[in-house]
Amino acid sequence: MPELRPRRQINITFKCNLSCPYCYVKNFKPEKKEISLSSFSKILSWFKKQNIQNGVSILGGEPTQHPKFDKILESMEKNELKSTLYTNGLTKNPLYLLSDSINYIIINYNHPPLISKEKQRKIEDTISFLTGKKNFTLRLNVNKYTDISEIMKICKKYNINSIQLSLVFPSEKRDNLFFKRGVLKSESQKLYEYIRELLDTGIKASVEEPLPFCAFDKKERKFLKKEANLFGECGSGRLYAINPDLSVVPCVIFQESLPKVFLTDFENEKELVEHLEKFTSSLKWEKYLFEECKTCVFNHRKLCQGSCLTYKI
């Protein structure tokens, strides 16, 4: 089941010090690449009016590369806002990661050949630095270069017993490295096998995007729901993303599929979410990813939307 409470993602910069070929931000050309401190304050005031102090993620691009990242953290601290930080682990100053405004960190774990051995070592330095100081996890975006033993090694070394896994989904313009619709079910099955393998070595992995339920048999689905938090409907709409120019989209990937709206166009979050959900709800339940979805009980019962919604645009 998706999270029922709203979740907010703030893209503080679209610049990045890596260029992961699967990244959905790849070649993305926003009007404004970096948020200004005054725009960031506007978000904080809008949140404050509605008593929002949790359920906020900071991402991008690479958020730690924002030239005023320290000031952004300070302003969140002042407003007693607690956030989850998404980072590639290649930060200039790991001390920033200890800010009280960050209560959880999700490190995008890349390994060669997608990054150099030297960069992999730097990510490991960040993991080592954070160990025992901050709650964090690793996220692995499974792609055609994935070697599951790489993440197993690092988990064993640093005693990490729970990670996140995702298949790579398409960017809005299909200009990234992603799994095509035709292999989505077989790749989902591969993901299931990785989850079993990881669990056998004591590492619990949760899936971070909706997967097609029919990629699994009944027993596998039951296992994945229990052990890996398998879900079939995403939160987009209730989950929304705020860009550096304060435009708002339902989920970071839909940058151009909707007429542009801004955070400050809305009196409150309820109005905003209602507006965004009109778009996501029809994509979820009235547009079919596979022919068989039309007559599928999981679709009719609104349990499985097919997969990530970008496959449907």
Ligand X SMILES: C[S@@+](CC[C@H](N)C(=O)[O-])C[C@H]1O[C@@H](n2cnc3c(N)ncnc32)[C@H](O)[C@@H]1O
Which of 168, 234, 293, 304 touches ligand X (CB under 6 A)?
Answer: 168
Angle at 39 between CA 38 and CA 43, to 5 degrees: 115
Smallest gap from Cβ 85 to ligand X, in A, equals 8
First to last CA, the chain: 23
Q: What is the x/- site pattern for ligand SF4, positions 268-297, by CB under 6 A?
A: ---------------------xx-xx--x-
Q: Does 99 bind ligand X (CB under 6 A)?
A: no
CA dihedral 170, 175, 181, 183 (to 10 degrees): -100
Q: How many residues bind ligand X (CB under 6 A)?
A: 20
Q: Which residue is nearest to ligand X (CB)?
A: 108
Question: What distance in Å separates the CA atoms of residue 53 and residue 220, rounded to the nearest whole number?
Answer: 37
What kind and span of H or E run contains 40?
A: helix 37-49
Residue 139 as a binder of ligand X (CB under 6 A): the answer is: yes
Q: How far is the CB of 268 from ligand SF4 (least distance, A)?
A: 30
Please state, in angstroms and rounded to a whole number, the distance separating the CA atoms of residues 162 and 29: 34
Out of 88, 91, 255, 280, the residue judged to bind ligand SF4 by CB under 6 A: 88
Please identify, using beta-carbon distances, which residue of 223 and 290 lies nearer to ligand SF4: 290
User: Which of 1, 3, 5, 19: binder of ligand SF4 (CB under 6 A)?
Assistant: 19
Short-list 170, 159, 169, CA closest to 207 = 169
How many Å apart are CA 40 and CA 269, to the nearest integer? 17
Closer CB to ligand SF4, residue 101 or residue 166?
A: 166
Interaction of residue 296 with ligand X, rule CB under 6 A: no
Q: Which DSSP letter does residue 21 get?
A: T
Token pair, residue 99, equals: 């800010």
Residues 167-226 that bind ligand SF4 (CB under 6 A): 212-214
Which residues have C-beta within 8 Å of that of residue 304, sequence separation ≥ 6?
A: 210, 212, 213, 214, 232, 233, 293, 296, 298
Q: Which residues contact ligand SF4 (rule: CB under 6 A)?
A: 16, 18-20, 23, 25, 60-62, 88, 108, 212-214, 289-290, 292-293, 296, 298-299, 304, 306
Q: Which residues contact ligand X (rule: CB under 6 A)?
A: 16, 22-25, 59-60, 62, 86-88, 106, 108, 139, 141, 166, 168-169, 176, 178
